[in-house]
Structure 1
Amino acid sequence: MRITQLNIYPVKSLRGIALEQATLGPRGLAFDRHWMVVDDVGRFVTQRQLPRMAQVAVRLDAEALVLEHPEVPPLRIALARDDQPRVTTHVWEDQCQGLDEGAEAADWLGRVLGDWKGSGLRLVRFAPDQQRRVDPRYQQGEQAHTAYADGFPFLVTAESSLAVLNEVLVAKGEDAVPMARFRPNIVVEGSAPFAEHGWDALAGDGYRLGMRKPCQRCKIITLDQQTGEAPAPKEPLRTLAGMSLATGAYFGHNATLLDGEDRTIRVGDTLEAETSAG
């Protein structure tokens, strides 16, 4: 197999950044889900609540996180900083400390996104001394942690699985969807469709990823990742649910880093799947 895409999403639920290479860490690819938009009580806000978050472009340069939207000047957030006020943040049932990026960022988000049910929006970054544990029920003796991703540090998807999904969609008279709908970190080619759900691990050049849990999808995959609009409000979620082997809609596989911290992963890398069957 071969890696065809690497993507990071520095701010949870804003647009992603396509990369040619990235540094591997226990919390995922460097800077992935390092920031998050929260409401007044620190609860995470995503495209599930505010689909227009997909309209916010994200860049990283040597000194700053840069958020861009056509209606306002860009917002720059310094990377080399950790003196911000601490706030308690919530992702699903997890609670951890974040660093509040301040009033300028909150004002920028308000101008671009409005509010959420009367609550203001703030930008927080994952506190460097925090560890948000991956649910141990899905581990195999190791300990893993993540930042502001939903639950795992990596999401792996396969080109062949998307091709089959799109064949079914087109046969039903629906439009094919791009891989961007699924917001993966690592995309591979050269595997059988949905074979990723049978892998125990993926091994590359000096690194190994543990494949730990199929990714159950939500309504975000119905949203165009440039506009935030839903061209077919129930697709491809409905079709995917009908194709799944288990109750619910599954696409892609959540993963953790087993070996290779600080190694470089690249588009074009060859990967070998490890299975319990050998």
Structure 2
Amino acid sequence: MATLSEINLYPIKSCGGISLERATITRAGVMSEQIYDREWMVVDQQGMCVTQREHPRMALIKPRIRLDTLELSAPGMLRLEIPLGLPDPSEAPTLQVTLWEETFKAYDCDATTAAWFSNYLGIPCRLARFHPDVTRLASEKWTGGVQAPTLFSDGYPILVASTGSLEDLNGKLRAQGREAIPMNRFRPNIVIDGIEAFEEDYAETYRAGELLLKPVKPCPRCPMPSIDQSTGEFGPDPMDILQTYRAKAEVDGAVCFGMNSIVLEGDGVQVEVGQEMEVELAF
């Protein structure tokens, strides 16, 4: 029997995640306590997205949901609290941000927050918050025409992976005398237990109660799986092993792990760890 074994929320793109026992799944992704996945994003002075790819120490910025704030901690830094309530759109400052090839409006968080991130990362930067006036959709080329909103994710609202796939990779690493790696290297939102290795690649849908998810595109991996999320440093690196058997022709030979997914049914449904999941294969 397949079960939902992990739910992960990443409030700030490329920063640490929050492991949840239960969460609300919306068309725009995982949500808990009115916080959406990738609702915030660090940007440089030109408004360009800043990620672990260039600044691996972002992994050590740890979020925690408090009553009405998102509390952030990082090595050598005082704790920072970000208000959860949305600002007044008539008064809140905005800025133009660029995420890969898209440029759009976002809320500009305050100077204190900007100074905190700038001091920690050692570069001038700011924290942006997704603006509710903006509509950002996953590529309909992959969603089959379904309009799937997302916030500051790389392109799709939900990333699904399986424990079987990680075990397969770790078996190959151990066979070479190398260290196994944890699932957090791949930063999935939903982890499924009880299916075969990479069976998620061939699923038509995943169902958890009233929630129906559809995998739409293999997730190409950048260097981030090479970053130890507990140290914020590169290594050990699994990418050379993945390259030997996880290059996918449908995404121009990119090395893939996990499936980008969208919500077909059950917008706003709550799910919890341990819940049974039905995986319908596409053949």
Q: TM (normalized to structure 1)?
A: 0.95
Q: Does 1:251 align with 2:257?
A: yes
Superimposed CA distance per residue, residues 206-248 of structure 1 (whole angstroms, 9 cap, x where no aligned partner)? 110111001111111011102111133xx20111111115223
Superimposed CA distance per residue, residues 67-116 of structure 1 (whole angstroms, 9 cap, x where no aligned partner)? 1113121111111132321111111112221101111011001111111x
Provide the C-alpha distance between the structure 2 equivalents of 1:198 and 1:136, rounded to a whole number of angstroms.
Answer: 19
Provide the C-alpha distance between the structure 1 equivalents of 2:279 and 2:144, rounded to a whole number of angstroms.
Answer: 17
Contact 1:156 1:255 in 2 (8 A): yes
Q: Does 1:73 align with 2:78?
A: yes
Provide the C-alpha distance between the structure 2 equivalents of 1:157 and 1:184, rounded to a whole number of angstroms.
Answer: 6
Which residue of structure 2 aligns with residue 109 of structure 1?
Answer: 117
Which residue of structure 1 aligns with residue 48 of structure 2?
Answer: 43
Q: Does 1:155 align with 2:159?
A: yes
Counterpart of 1:237 (choices 214, 236, 239) is 239
Q: Does 1:90 align with 2:90?
A: no
**1:187-198 residue pairs with structure 2 within 5 A?**
187-198=191-202
Which residue of structure 1 aligns with residue 226 of structure 2?
Answer: 222
Q: Which secondary structure state, in structure 2, belongs to the residue aligned with residue 180 of structure 1?
A: helix
Provide the C-alpha distance between the structure 2 equivalents of 1:194 and 1:94, rounded to a whole number of angstroms.
Answer: 31
Contact 1:33 1:149 in 2 (8 A): yes
Which residue of structure 2 aligns with residue 174 of structure 1?
Answer: 178
Provide the C-alpha distance between the structure 1 equivalents of 2:8 and 2:117, rounded to a whole number of angstroms.
Answer: 23
Superimposed CA distance per residue, residues 124-168 of structure 1 (whole angstroms, 9 cap, x where no aligned partner)? 110122211101110123111100010100000100010010010
Q: Return 5+ residue gaps in structure 1 as ranges.
A: none
Report the CA distance between 1:249 and its aligned residue: 1.4
From the two aligned structures, give the one with the greater strand fraction. 2
Which residue of structure 1 aligns with residue 108 of structure 2?
Answer: 100
Provide the C-alpha distance between the structure 2 equivalents of 1:176 and 1:226, rounded to a whole number of angstroms.
Answer: 14
Letter in 2 for 1:106: A
Q: TM (normalized to structure 2)?
A: 0.93
Report the CA distance between 1:264 and its aligned residue: 0.1
**1:25-64 residue pairs with structure 2 within 5 A?**
25-30=26-31, 31-64=36-69
Q: Which secondary structure state, in structure 2, belongs to the residue aligned with residue 73 of structure 1?
A: coil
Q: Return 5+ residue gaps in structure 2 as ranges.
A: none
Letter in 1 for 2:184: A
Count residues with an aligned counterpart: 271
Superimposed CA distance per residue, residues 189-212 of structure 1 (whole angstroms, 9 cap, x where no aligned partner)? 111111110112111111101110
Question: What is the aligned-residue identity percentage?
Answer: 38
Contact 1:217 1:250 in 2 (8 A): yes
Letter in 2 for 1:254: N
Contact 1:218 1:237 in 2 (8 A): no
